[in-house]
Amino acid sequence: MNLCTLKRFFKKIETLENNLYRIRNLPIGSIAMNFQNPVFIPGPTNMPEVLRKAVDMPTLDHRSSLFGEILHPALAGVKAVLKSKTAEVFVFPSTGTGGWETAITNTLCAGDKVLVGRNGMFSHRWIDMCERHGLEVQVIETPWGEGLPAARYEEILAADKSHQIKAVLATHNETATGVVSDIAAISQTLKTANHPALLYVDGVSSIGSMDFRMDEWGVDIAITGSQKGFMLPAGLAIVGFSPKAMAALETATLPRTFFDIRDMGKGYANNAYPYTPAVGLLNGLKMATEMLLSEGLENVFARHHRIACGVRAAVDAWGLQLCAVSSDLYSDTVSAICTPEGFNATSIVTHAADKYDVAFGVGLGEVAGKVFRIGHLGSLTDVMTLSGIATAEMCMVDLGLDIKLGAGVTAAQEHYRTV
């Protein structure tokens, strides 16, 4: 070893020692403070302590009967949250995006035509996935901030006399803009046109927090994930298939291996997975559904609505507007808040993280820099929400916006005290 190599070696040792010294001597607060405050991003959401403990469990044999005691109650709980009596539920070690791929690959063939509305970042990503799978995608372009136009869906479906469209895709709650769309109305367009297409719904940021009626609305595939309304870490793609969607398996030819629900179904019949499952997350899902059903789904939805209305009262008091263009489109899980022209909304998110150790959501896609987002879903209370409103308010004042300190907090307090 020559002299230059020795010098580089000892320099690396010195750097490692310095880094270890800095870590050992960090004040406890600088490590722990980020975890003390709630998060106000629209997912992953805050985790109740009981769910954290449910996920943190010893290793067990996932081929034993004990695993079945976790798996089947979790699947049944999801089915109840979807408000379905007929759906078959499949849970993959993945995320909502994996749920989308599960829907597409198990029911469609290359070259099939699908109809989808684009009104935000997440509907845009679904379109991209369909194109990558070789599907013919007809896009209903919709301004960001508006809901999916049921009338336009109906017009296109009625004109499709030869039934070339095999699936209709809709995002229930567009997380990027805080806009909820009327899935019942879109489902009705299929009935009115007497069209046989399947209806796929992205409910990633709505299911478990907002009313979702799979059977009543005629949803064929409902897609969500573990990290939002179910209050768990990211890591599970959760999908519900109607009997009609299950029948489409017989003709679907898109390739799938990991996301093949036929393999998953065979595994379930034997209290198992076709590969190693995320046992801790499934145990958390079992408990999460128990918690939601114990609170009562209508109570869960009412809590989210109350909390969201408090945030909206604060926005009004600040003299700002939501990205959603009308009150019937307001989401009860996330508010995308527009800032004045020429102001970079992302600076609010950055400032909140740097100065107050609080996380908000940035604007995405077409609204990047124009909005910041307050997520108000999952394990959240009025009191927790007030802390988020107060932090956003401090950030805006710090950054020079014409906001009266306390105005939003007071407006939200008045709402929470009287509702």
What are 199-254's pLDDT values in tens digits?
999 999 999 999 999 999 999 999 999 999 999 999 999 999 999 999 999 999 99
pLDDT for the residue numbered 36: 87
Distance CA 213, CA 37 (A): 33
In the predicted model, what is the mean pLDDT of the chain? 93
Nearest to 177 by CA among 329, 303, 317: 329
pLDDT at 13 exceeding the cut of 50: no
Question: Can you name the residues that pair with 336 across neighbouring β-strands?
Answer: 373
CA 48 vs. chain centroid, Å, equals 17
pLDDT for the residue numbered 35: 76
Give the lowest-confidence range in 15-24, 177-186, 302-311: 15-24
pLDDT at 16 exceeding the cut of 60: no
User: If pLDDT is split at 50, 70 and 90, which confidence band does 4 have?
Assistant: low
- 247-268 average pLDDT score: 97
Distance CA 232, CA 261 (A): 23
Is residue 241 within 8 Å of residue 220, measured between CB atoms? Answer: yes
133-175 pLDDT, tens digit each:
999 999 999 999 999 999 999 999 999 999 999 999 999 999 9
Q: Are strands 173-174 and 221-225 parallel, antiparallel or unpaired?
A: unpaired
pLDDT for the residue numbered 34: 65
Residues of the chain with CATH 3.40.640.10: 49-294
363-419 pLDDT, tens digit each:
999 999 999 999 999 999 999 999 999 999 999 999 999 999 999 999 999 999 999
pLDDT at 28 exceeding the cut of 70: no
Instruction: Return the amino acid letter for 408.
Output: G
pLDDT for the residue numbered 63: 87
333-370 pLDDT, tens digit each:
999 999 999 999 999 999 999 999 999 999 999 999 99
Query: pTM of the prediction?
Result: 0.91
Is residue 314 within 8 Å of residue 351, measured between CB atoms? Answer: no
pLDDT for the residue numbered 203: 98
Is residue 160 within 8 Å of residue 194, measured between CB atoms? Answer: no
pLDDT at 120 exceeding the cut of 70: yes
81-111 pLDDT, tens digit each:
999 999 999 999 999 999 999 999 999 999 9
- CATH number for the region 49-294 comes to 3.40.640.10
Residue 89, H or E segment? strand 88-93
Tell me the two tokens of residue 116: 């989808």
pLDDT at 325 exceeding the cut of 80: yes
pLDDT for the residue numbered 6: 47
CATH fold group of domain 297-418: Aspartate Aminotransferase, domain 1 (3.90.1150)
Residues of the chain with CATH 3.90.1150.10: 297-418
